[in-house]
Amino acid sequence: MTDKLIIRRPDDWHVHLRDGAMLKDVVNYTARQFGRAIVMPNLSPPVTTIKAGRAYRDRILAALDPSLDFTPLITCYLTDTIEAEEVVRGHTEGVFTACKLYPANATTNSAHGVTNIKNISSVLEAMQKSGMPLLVHGEVTHSDVDIFDREAVFIDEVLIGVIADYPELKIVFEHITTQDAADFVNESDSNIAATITPHHLDFNRNAIFQGGIRPHYYCLPIAKREKHRLALRKAATSGSPKFFLGTDTAPHAIGAKESACGCAGIFNAPHAMESYAKTFDEEGALDQLEGFASEHGPKFYGLPINEGKITLERRKTIVPESLKVIDTEIIPFHAGETLEWGIS
Ligand code: DOR
Ligand code: ZN
């Protein structure tokens, strides 16, 4: 039995760090575990200009514990009217690592998202040309599509068309939740990859309704049936370079979650690596964790892998019931549970 795992320092290819007081209280949870993170731009207002991207990066760096070695990688939020020139110049100037596509109203702060993919054709064309990755929240939003089908329908209605029109465009299908998405990515060319969260590997949709409504298990895309969770576990642990770590850590104050209309998002940053280690251990695939967490992402983004190492050890780690943030609390993923892995 493996009891100790020394791996390259991992990166998180999908995080929500928020802004203001919340940013200060959450950023170091991510920076303690990861060398770099792709930071989502769904602030209010969203990050849609180079100027806003630079300013947000400065605020993240200012909030960072100076003893931690962490690099935030900023993304640009695509809107119907965004200019290709701004996006690509942001990439060339080293401000934007990638662009994020939120279909309008798909999730938190996505009201300014894209209403029709045709509206951003010149942007996608320019991104393809410059090698800038497109990060996709892959869900359709029509009210006649069942919430559990939104990802699968997105593949058919949007993604296949985008790939046909921009065959060289690098695309990350973010936080995939279905067997359909895992299969689709597996069968696509090497410019199509996906991130997988620790929570979608850990529970299926029953968890949201176990004995009552459990808002801390609610996120978007919503967790699906067990067969989909099993397909995600297979993809993540397969060793395929198309799948890599992206937590989608999405903190919301307890009151915003435990509400008549609770926000989507799971705050998993504090014990993300311990949670992934749990899954890989249960799958008998600890030897694949380093590729998933530390190698496949940088390779896809064309960045060097991190120099440092981390040590994961088989030892009991108790996850707090809640964490103090600003003047309130946040319930973290695995709250109150004992995990079998710890980071030294
Ligand atoms: O659960 C989610 N929370 N999914 C998203 O796509 C956005 C995120 C957030 O920003 O809260
Ligand atoms: Zn997200």
Q: What is the pLDDT of residue 326?
A: 87
- 107 vs 7: which has the higher pLDDT: 7
Query: Which protein residue's CA is at the shortest distance from atom 10 of ligand 1?
Result: 108
**pLDDT band, residue 149 (cuts 50/70/90):** very high
Q: Is 150 in the pocket of ligand 1 (CB under 6 A)?
A: no
Q: What is 143-201 written as a DSSP string?
A: TTS-GGGHHHHHIIIIIHHHHHH-TT--EEE-S--SHHHHHHHHHS-TTEEEEE-HHHH
The dihedral through the CA atoms of 21, 216, 10, 16 has a sign that is negative
Instruction: Please write the tens of the pLDDT for every residue from 192-226.
Output: 999 999 999 999 999 999 999 999 999 999 999 99
Cα–Cα distance between 257 and 214 in angstroms, integer?
9
Helix (H, G, I), strand (E, B) or coil at 318: strand
From the CA of 110, the nearest ligand is 1
Average pLDDT of 276-281? 98
**pLDDT band, residue 338 (cuts 50/70/90):** very high
For 34, 109, 171, 317, 318, the CA distances from 339, given in Å and listed in that order, are 19, 32, 33, 5, 6
Q: Is 330 in the pocket of ligand 1 (CB under 6 A)?
A: no
Average pLDDT of 253-280? 98
248 in active site: yes
Q: What is the pLDDT of residue 30?
A: 98
Q: Would you tell me how many other CB atoms lie within 10 Å of the CB of residue 130?
A: 13
**Percentage of the residues of the chain whose pLDDT score is greater than 90:** 98
Ligand 2 centre and the CA of 13: distance in Å? Answer: 10
Q: Is 114 in the pocket of ligand 1 (CB under 6 A)?
A: no
Ligand 1 centre and the CA of 333: distance in Å? Answer: 14
Q: What is the pLDDT of residue 300?
A: 98
Cα–Cα distance between 335 and 212 in angstroms, integer?
17
Which of 12, 180, 248, 281 does the annotation list as catalytic? 248
Cα–Cα distance between 125 and 291 in angstroms, integer?
31
| Angle (CA) 191 194 199, round 5° | 175
8-state DSSP, 319: P
Shortest-distance atom of ligand 1 to CA 251: 11
Q: What is the pLDDT of residue 175?
A: 98
| H or E, element range at 317 | strand 309-318
Q: Is 42 in the pocket of ligand 1 (CB under 6 A)?
A: yes
Instruction: Please write the tens of the pLDDT for every residue from 290-333.
Output: 999 999 999 999 999 999 999 999 999 999 999 999 899 999 99
Contact 86/120 with Cβ under 8 angstroms?
Answer: no
Read off the tokens for 66.
């100076």
Question: Count of residues for the chain?
Answer: 344
Q: Is 82 in the pocket of ligand 1 (CB under 6 A)?
A: no
CATH 3.20.20.140 fits 10-307, yes or no: yes
Ligand 2 is a single-atom ion; what residues have CB below 5 A from it? Answer: 248
Q: Is 175 in the pocket of ligand 1 (CB under 6 A)?
A: no
Q: What is the pLDDT of residue 330?
A: 98
CA 313 to chain centre: 25
Does the pTM exceed 0.85?
yes
Q: Is 220 in the pocket of ligand 1 (CB under 6 A)?
A: yes
From the CA of 15, the nearest ligand is 2
pLDDT averaged over the chain? 98
Ligand 1 centre and the CA of 232: distance in Å? Answer: 19
Ligand 1 centre and the CA of 72: distance in Å? Answer: 18
- Choosing from 216, 224, 259, 263 the residue with most ligand 1 atoms within 8 A of its CB, the one to mutate for a pocket test is 263
Task: State the residue for tokens 């895309």.
Answer: 221
Ligand 2 centre and the CA of 100: distance in Å? Answer: 10
Say whether pLDDT at 3 is over 90: yes
Say whether pLDDT at 108 is over 90: no
For the chain, the domains span 10-307
3-state helix, strand, coil in the chain (%, to 5): 40, 20, 40
Q: Is 265 in the pocket of ligand 1 (CB under 6 A)?
A: yes
Q: Who contacts 47 (Cβ-Cβ below 8 Å, separation ≥6)?
A: 41, 53, 56, 74, 75, 76, 77
Ligand 2 centre and the CA of 40: distance in Å? Answer: 7
Contact 25/249 with Cβ under 8 angstroms?
Answer: no
